[in-house]
Structure 1
Amino acid sequence: MKKNSTKITAFILIATFICGCNAVKRVPDGKNLLVKNTILVNGKATNDEIASNQMYQKPNGTLLGYRLRLNLYNLANLNPDSTYQAKFKNHPGLYERQAKILSAKQVDRLGQSFLYKGIHEFLRNTGEPPVVIDTAKTKKSLLRLKFYYFNNGYFNVATDYSIDSVARKKAKINYLITTGPAYTLDTIKTNIKTPALDSLYRTNNEPSFLKSGKQYKTADFEDEKNRLTTYFRNHGAYFFQPTYVTFDIDTIGKKNKADVTLIVNNNNIQERDSSRTEPFKLYKISDVNIYTDYSAANAKTKITDSTTYNNFNLYSHKKLKYKPRAITDAVFINKGGVFSDTRTTLSSRYLNNLKIFNYPSIQYEVDKRDSTAQSLIANVYLTPRKKYSFGASLDVTHSNIQDFGIGASISETIRNVFNRAETLEISARLNVGSSKDMANPNDNFFNVSEYGLDLKLNFPRILLPFGTEKIIPKRMIPSTSIAAGFSKQRNIGLDKENFTGGIAYNWSPKRNNTAKLELLNAQFVRNLNPSNYFRVYTSSYNELNNIAGTYNTVPSNVDNDGNLTIPDGANNFTKEVLADQTVLRPGDAEYKDVQSIEERRIRLTENDFILATSYTFTKTTKKDLADNTFYQFKTKIESAGTLLSAISSIAKLPENSRGNYEIFNLEYSEYIKTEFDYIKHWDFGKEKVLAVRSFFGIAIPFGNSDYIPFSRSYYSGGSNDNRAWQPYSLGPGSTNAANDFNEANMKIALSAEFRFKVFGDVKGAIFADAGNIWNVLDNVIDEKAKFNNVNDLAEIALGSGFGLRYDLSFFVIRLDLGFKTYNPAHEKGDRWFKEYNFGHSVLNFGINYPF
């Protein structure tokens, strides 16, 4: 009853606040608050977003239909200083009395405090002043609408507007558009005055934006202008610009049709006080000069070292520090080749990607040695970065394992290691933290730690004993990375050592596509304290201990309180059950539970050796960080252990007692794994974005393995997954997260999020996350954790909720509150909204958007 009373009181207060806000409080008499713009095209309302953006005045923003920012503004006192002074004028002697208690200076400062002034400044700055209808702006909006429809082929468009009152001091504007018939393109002719460009135009196979029968749109003419400019400049027309392309549009004697003549004028050359025109020339490159140590300070100093390699001229003001091929492989401008903007841009990208220079500058000059003046000299100016770069960072962290952590890292980057533009990155890290959930017999605050060392050597080319230019040409910006690392951690109680190493190749088949081939990826995980398993994974221990309370018959397995001792008692009891030394038999439910607990213990305490090969392909249409209309597709396939098994089989190496091969006295992992990840964003304008994500991943053990290593398995839940569950706390299947860290070898995830602006840099979101993890074709025996057929898709969990984001430009701070909407861990018929309340909600903190 008390909880209900609190909710009712809160509801009444909120309702009173909303109702008490007067939206037209600051609307002058005789004026109207703009509440809606309606565009009526030929008598019908349109939702054309571009047309709506032509308005000079738009209604005040709303949050779920409520004008929050307007009402915040109306709550503000716009003249708090005057109000404060008026208080003393209306109450003579009040100032003197307060000055005796405080002081005159303190009384004056009180008027500048947050209570009297700051809160009103906050409300005014956060809020939004009322949008009062201004007929002058309405007419300007109408004119822009007329131009908008005219530019879309409605040459006879007629416009008008009306203002309709909807309430006291409130009105809406109706923009009345009568388009008339749309004009279409009829005949399309060309008049290209430079013969060389005319010849290029006729041999160009690219489709034109202007086609007979297509509706007239000004944007198509701009696109065609840019298309031709790009094409001509990529085929030698160095001085060509979009302004040289014009169009003659003739509608005389035509009914709703227009003849178009595309005109490309000659080059206009300015010569002091006069100008002249001449046909455009197509330029070739006569020389490519590369200045390898250019800077503003040495620009006028003497060149002391130079060389020529593959028709490239390399210069240095000091001794040349680079192998010529390392630089020339990154330059796509060739001596004797035709001038091309694309080759210039590609060269800049590749040179920048070497990471040993600042962004390069590429400039052209007409070669005065050519009597025909149709040659260009390309000058490439490279400014080296410092050979050694040192970095350091200190972070405060929080994760599903650490309640509090402090992390520090240092790094050193060495550039041009072998004089072929290689970079060597060396980094070391240390993290100490506190976790109340971890085994901590000494009760130390910092009971979690990790330190590690990583090395990465990058080569700006493919390192293989044979040439790859025909398969992966240098325009794809190929690179090779060789990495090695070591880490030691004490953060899940088992205390692990992790050794990694590998070689990977990266390239970009197209502008927005990337590919990565990890030829070898080796990982060795060594558990230093496996006997601590049941102190860490308390859920497994509690379940085993409950079974032992009924079936244990060996007194030495338990302590004085009757609980299994760790590790001996727990391990001995498990062995006795599985050896049929208790009354439990394989068909019993408790027997299967013990068997499942033991399988998981072995899985998480055994050392792992993984030697994998993988291929990852990513495609995106995202242009920049501000692009909210794009999609991204990523797929990965990974194979582990296959090479080792092939070698073992060919060499006829002996198998162990389990029929598996070993390396370094350790059974290596063997599996095939594949993943698909798809993200799509739709921009609805006015900072409203719909984002969706779908993910599917599966890893199948075979041959030398009957399960997937923990480090390569899947989990569900968390701030970037299903936000209604904590990390590792969802699934597998309908098991109700029986273990402490729940993982499996198959995962499905689906998410949708609608993002909108609240006010200023604060944005809101409404989201829904669906998904789960399951065990497939491995050694898990719990039927609730397995995916057997499509009927198990009913175990996909659903979480929903809302969140806030604060945009700091360089990153976004995110808070999300998730509610368990459909929980497959409950019995059928009792899964919907069973825990849909604040008590079972999960608050997630994240950096940047989840997808």
Structure 2
Amino acid sequence: MLYTLAKPSQLSLLLVTLWMLLLASCTTLRNYPAGQPFVYQTNVKVEGKFSKEEQKQLEGLLQQQLHDSIQVRSVAKLIGWKNGPRLFYKEIVNPPVYDSLNASKSVAFMEALLNAQGYFRDTITYDTTLVVKEDQLRTTVNFNVVPGKLVTIDSVVYNLEDDTLKSITDKNMASTLLKKGVPFSKNLISQEFDRLVNVYRNNGYLQFSFEDLIAVFDTVGIDLLRPTFDPIEQARQLQELQRRRENPSATVEVRLRVSEDSNRLVRYKVGNITVYPDLSADTANYIPRTDTLSGLQVVSYRDLFKPRIIAENIMVKRGDLYSHEQYLRALLRLNGIGSWRLVSIDPVPRKGIDTVDYVVKMFPAARYKGTINIEGSQNRGNPYVGAIGFGINASLNNRNFARAANQATSTVRYGIELGSKGQIQTQIVSLNNSILFPRLIPRNNWIPFAWRENARTVLNFNINNTDRFRWFNLTSFNLNWGYSFSRDNKLFTFTFPNIEYSFITRREELNARIAKYPSYRYIFNAGLVSSTILGYTVTGGTKKVSNQKRVNLEASGLTSGLIRNPFLDSNLYRFVKLDAEFRQVHQMGKSAFAWRVFGGAGIGMPRFERDRINQYLPFFKQYFGGGPNSMRAWGLRKLGPGSNSRSTADTIAPERFGDVQLEANAEYRFPLYNMGGVQINSAFFTDIGNIWFLRKNEDFEDGEFRADRFLQDIGIGTGTGLRVDFGFFLVRLDYAYKVKDPAKRGKDQWFNRWRLDNGMLQLGINYPF
């Protein structure tokens, strides 16, 4: 390996960087009490058998219990002057005078927290250290916490007086949080109370509340304190006391609190449902009209909505047992439609009987809304539209189209796509129109209600023109009708029909490529897509680990391809395309580890021997690698196919695409600095994958997928980057270099010498996955 001495300019840059880092490590003080001991720092140290994560979490909770007069408050600064220039430093403002009384109060607060967490045998001490610097008496307070052993639950008893409540409780015991052996804490009991209240209120107990339950717990063992003269019983008690010392436990009894309010034990049924769909601040000048349908009374003042639409979206029926969960679902559905700015549902219990009436008040939103915005965008659906681009959008939204609470939106967009050298390489103009119906059209009662409840119907019509300078001009039309069904964390979409028609004008660069590589003629073609699209997405995880699974299937021309006529024979694309993705994010404090795997394949299905346009997927349906969201060590559409070694120079074969894509990505994301409320983050990442053709393509040797050449074909890139998080969007600048380049051969495939200009800079909007 060759080593060289740094140039003077490089050495100067290194010294300046080190100086800035030294400045960034400084802490300054402002408005401190001169000549008096003041709190400069507080430390909380937890001792015991804890994992690092548990210890860090408990120390954080204890730090929050410090008395206000002992808390140190600091402000992050970007630039300033304090005995010289300062960059990225911390400033302590108005540090409090140290008072041991406040430290003792903090100990009491910490003990209360530990007791609530199930630690009843804690020991907390504190000490101080004093550092004198000129007129500053900097006092550091160190709290040493030994929580002792955590108390666990030994037994749980539900002592409820009402037989129906007992039966409901027994049926729902599988989801109880109070189980033998779990750590005891007041917070856990509070969560169990919340669970019980939800269970009871979903079974008709409208007026049951948290305050109607009480928990009695014993961490000592009352039975062990009763005197006895039986030596065998005394021995048993001593043995039990010894066991409790070594493994402290608690018995818990859940009871009904004594109350004079008898309504808490009444099971209510739904009575009258009255809906006011068009309320406003002043309805005195309007004469109300009442329509009765499907058991509802719809009282309209301004006749803005069709009564039938209101009835279809109220998911509550007269005579149903009251359910708080059903009430919330109805409220969320109505507020989520978008035609009303506010919807409230008031349950009104009738006095003396077990019936509750619903009053639904709905305040319409402004019917029309127009917006103009500038945005950065990414689009992986079309390899020539917006890998990273900027655009201006103008849209008009009708929130009550056809008086049926439908959302009709028309959007005009002009955008540009930047090439790898920063030049404008693509220009996009589009007109998009969509109508979202907040129900199924037509009504499909055979679909289970749980899926119909959150079903949507969508009609889309789009016209797009993509002008790829010196390559082609592509105009496409798209019309589709689709449905979406959501339940819990699952989303299912079904689009049929999806009609796309594209026609292309080839320009000099593309014609030059076709002259060299005939397969381009069959890929860059005008054509018709008549497809069905199925999508299924599942999101989930825990508080610290979130994940998403997605599967998408598109099939074109399988039925319409049976029709034989000259137009369809020469224009209809016939293919099946399937892709799947799994992504996961692990939160680790302020850092995170994110990873993703993606696999997709599409196969053209020729209808006859000379059907060349279906040898491969149409180019606007093909996969591609490289760019800010994929294999970041390669430029946009510069990777693959396979281990093809042909140059990606503009005059040879710059555009790469394929019928298959396999890719895996991983990132470790971590914070750097908060600059005036804007978070600066960084990441280390690696990308692994490639694209391939399914059928042999003479123009791209070694470009087809083969299992025996898979490892040779795989590309690997790695790098780091900066992310500027503005909250509502994130700007990302990544630098990546090739660790393994499939376009090279033998040992040359692997990285052997790093140079700064060998890497690739990628500008992106938001996270890549």
TM-score, structure 2 length as denominator? 0.81
Partner of 2:671: 757
Partner of 1:767: 684
Task: State whether residues 522 and 610 of structure 1, in contact with CA within 8 Å, keep that contact through their aligned partners in structure 2.
Answer: yes
Task: State whether residues 427 and 467 of structure 2, in contact with CA within 8 Å, keep that contact through their aligned partners in structure 1.
Answer: yes
Partner of 2:626: 717
User: Compared with structure 1, are the counterparts of its residues 488 and 135 closer, same or farther at alpha carbon in structure 2 (3 Å cutoff)?
Assistant: same
Partner of 1:824: 742
Residue of 398, 405, 421 corresponding to 1:414 = 398
Partner of 2:81: 77
1:632 and 2:600 correspond? no
Residue of 374, 380, 394 corresponding to 2:354 = 374
Residue of 44, 52, 56 corresponding to 2:59 = 52
Task: State whether residues 715 and 728 of structure 1, in contact with CA within 8 Å, keep that contact through their aligned partners in structure 2.
Answer: yes
Task: State whether residues 164 and 171 of structure 1, in contact with CA within 8 Å, keep that contact through their aligned partners in structure 2.
Answer: yes
One-letter amino acid of the counterpart of residue 509, structure 2: R
User: Compared with structure 1, are the counterparts of its residues 165 and 819 closer, same or farther at alpha carbon in structure 2 (3 Å cutoff)?
Assistant: farther
SS at match of 1:361: strand
Residue of 569, 578, 583 corresponding to 1:674 = 578
Cα distance, 1:249 vs structure 2: 0.2
Counterparts of 1:582-601 in structure 2, within 5 Å, are 597-601=517-521
1:287 and 2:296 correspond? no
Partner of 1:544: none
1:495 and 2:502 correspond? no
1:259 and 2:251 correspond? yes
Task: State whether residues 496 and 527 of structure 1, in contact with CA within 8 Å, keep that contact through their aligned partners in structure 2.
Answer: yes
SS at match of 2:748: coil
Partner of 1:339: 322
Rounded Cα–Cα distance in structure 1 between residues aligned with 2:153 and 2:420 = 73
SS at match of 1:666: helix
Task: State whether residues 185 and 211 of structure 1, in contact with CA within 8 Å, keep that contact through their aligned partners in structure 2.
Answer: yes
1:535 and 2:452 correspond? no
Cα distance, 1:79 vs structure 2: 8.9
Residue of 727, 730, 735 corresponding to 1:809 = 727
Task: State whether residues 431 and 462 of structure 2, in contact with CA within 8 Å, keep that contact through their aligned partners in structure 1.
Answer: yes
Residue of 524, 527, 530 corresponding to 1:608 = 527
Task: State whether residues 159 and 175 of structure 1, in contact with CA within 8 Å, keep that contact through their aligned partners in structure 2.
Answer: yes
SS at match of 2:666: strand
Rounded Cα–Cα distance in structure 2 between residues aligned with 1:640 and 1:357 = 39
Partner of 1:558: none
Partner of 2:71: none
One-letter amino acid of the counterpart of residue 688, structure 1: S
Partner of 1:12: 15
User: Compared with structure 1, are the counterparts of its residues 829 and 133 closer, same or farther at alpha carbon in structure 2 (3 Å cutoff)?
Assistant: farther
Indicate the larger mover: 428-437 or 148-157.
Answer: 428-437
User: Compared with structure 1, are the counterparts of its residues 9 and 416 closer, same or farther at alpha carbon in structure 2 (3 Å cutoff)?
Assistant: closer
Cα distance, 1:429 vs structure 2: 3.3
Rounded Cα–Cα distance in structure 2 between residues aligned with 1:365 and 1:387 = 31
Task: State whether residues 483 and 503 of structure 1, in contact with CA within 8 Å, keep that contact through their aligned partners in structure 2.
Answer: yes
Cα distance, 1:395 vs structure 2: 5.8
Cα distance, 1:317 vs structure 2: 1.2
Counterparts of 1:156-167 in structure 2, within 5 Å, are 156-161=121-126
Count of equivalent residues: 705
Cα distance, 1:53 vs structure 2: 1.0
Rounded Cα–Cα distance in structure 2 between residues aligned with 1:524 and 1:338 = 52
TM-score, structure 1 length as denominator? 0.73
Cα distance, 1:14 vs structure 2: 3.1
Report which of the two has the higher share of strand. Answer: 2
1:506 and 2:491 correspond? no
1:353 and 2:269 correspond? no
Task: State whether residues 385 and 466 of structure 2, in contact with CA within 8 Å, keep that contact through their aligned partners in structure 1.
Answer: no
Task: State whether residues 32 and 171 of structure 1, in contact with CA within 8 Å, keep that contact through their aligned partners in structure 2.
Answer: yes
Partner of 1:841: 759
One-letter amino acid of the counterpart of residue 273, structure 2: V
Cα distance, 1:161 vs structure 2: 4.9
Partner of 1:112: none
Cα distance, 1:383 vs structure 2: 1.7
Counterparts of 1:115-264 in structure 2, within 5 Å, are 123=87, 127-129=90-92, 146-161=111-126, 176-204=144-172, 206-250=174-218, 251-252=220-221, 253=224, 255=244, 256-264=248-256
SS at match of 1:349: helix
One-letter amino acid of the counterpart of residue 467, structure 1: N
Rounded Cα–Cα distance in structure 2 between residues aligned with 1:230 and 1:398 = 42
Counterparts of 1:609-758 in structure 2, within 5 Å, are 609-621=528-540, 629-645=545-561, 647-648=562-563, 653=564, 663-664=567-568, 666-685=570-589, 687-704=590-607, 705-735=614-644, 738=648, 739-758=653-672
Residue of 692, 706, 711 corresponding to 1:793 = 711
Rounded Cα–Cα distance in structure 2 between residues aligned with 1:43 and 1:183 = 15
One-letter amino acid of the counterpart of residue 254, structure 2: L
Cα distance, 1:636 vs structure 2: 1.1
User: Compared with structure 1, are the counterparts of its residues 403 and 503 closer, same or farther at alpha carbon in structure 2 (3 Å cutoff)?
Assistant: closer
Task: State whether residues 794 and 824 of structure 1, in contact with CA within 8 Å, keep that contact through their aligned partners in structure 2.
Answer: yes
Show CA shifts across 1:148-175 (max 9, x none): 5434433222233567999999999876
Counterparts of 1:84-99 in structure 2, within 5 Å, are none
User: Compared with structure 1, are the counterparts of its residues 144 and 679 closer, same or farther at alpha carbon in structure 2 (3 Å cutoff)?
Assistant: farther
SS at match of 1:636: strand
SS at match of 2:332: helix
Rounded Cα–Cα distance in structure 1 between residues aligned with 2:597 and 2:460 = 31
SS at match of 2:309: helix
Indicate the larger mover: 250-259 or 515-524.
Answer: 250-259
Task: State whether residues 385 and 428 of structure 2, in contact with CA within 8 Å, keep that contact through their aligned partners in structure 1.
Answer: no
Partner of 1:520: 497
SS at match of 2:320: coil
Rounded Cα–Cα distance in structure 2 between residues aligned with 1:249 and 1:689 = 39
Unaligned runs of 5+ in 1: 59-68, 81-118, 270-276, 439-444, 541-569, 572-593, 655-661
Rounded Cα–Cα distance in structure 2 between residues aligned with 1:35 and 1:795 = 56
Indicate the larger mover: 2-11 or 352-361.
Answer: 2-11
Indicate the larger mover: 43-52 or 129-138.
Answer: 129-138
Partner of 1:482: 459
Indicate the larger mover: 483-492 or 130-139.
Answer: 130-139
User: Compared with structure 1, are the counterparts of its residues 22 and 280 closer, same or farther at alpha carbon in structure 2 (3 Å cutoff)?
Assistant: closer
Task: State whether residues 22 and 71 of structure 1, in contact with CA within 8 Å, keep that contact through their aligned partners in structure 2.
Answer: no
Rounded Cα–Cα distance in structure 1 between residues aligned with 2:51 and 2:489 = 41
User: Compared with structure 1, are the counterparts of its residues 805 and 266 closer, same or farther at alpha carbon in structure 2 (3 Å cutoff)?
Assistant: farther
Rounded Cα–Cα distance in structure 2 between residues aligned with 1:227 and 1:416 = 39
One-letter amino acid of the counterpart of residue 750, structure 1: A
Rounded Cα–Cα distance in structure 2 between residues aligned with 1:140 and 1:380 = 50
Rounded Cα–Cα distance in structure 2 between residues aligned with 1:310 and 1:406 = 49
One-letter amino acid of the counterpart of residue 535, structure 1: E
Task: State whether residues 768 and 798 of structure 1, in contact with CA within 8 Å, keep that contact through their aligned partners in structure 2.
Answer: no
Larger Rg: 1
One-letter amino acid of the counterpart of residue 492, structure 2: A
Unaligned runs of 5+ in 2: 66-73, 225-240, 608-613
Show CA shifts across 1:48-79 (max 9, x none): 33213125399xxxxxxxxxx99978x84359
Rounded Cα–Cα distance in structure 2 between residues aligned with 1:339 and 1:409 = 46
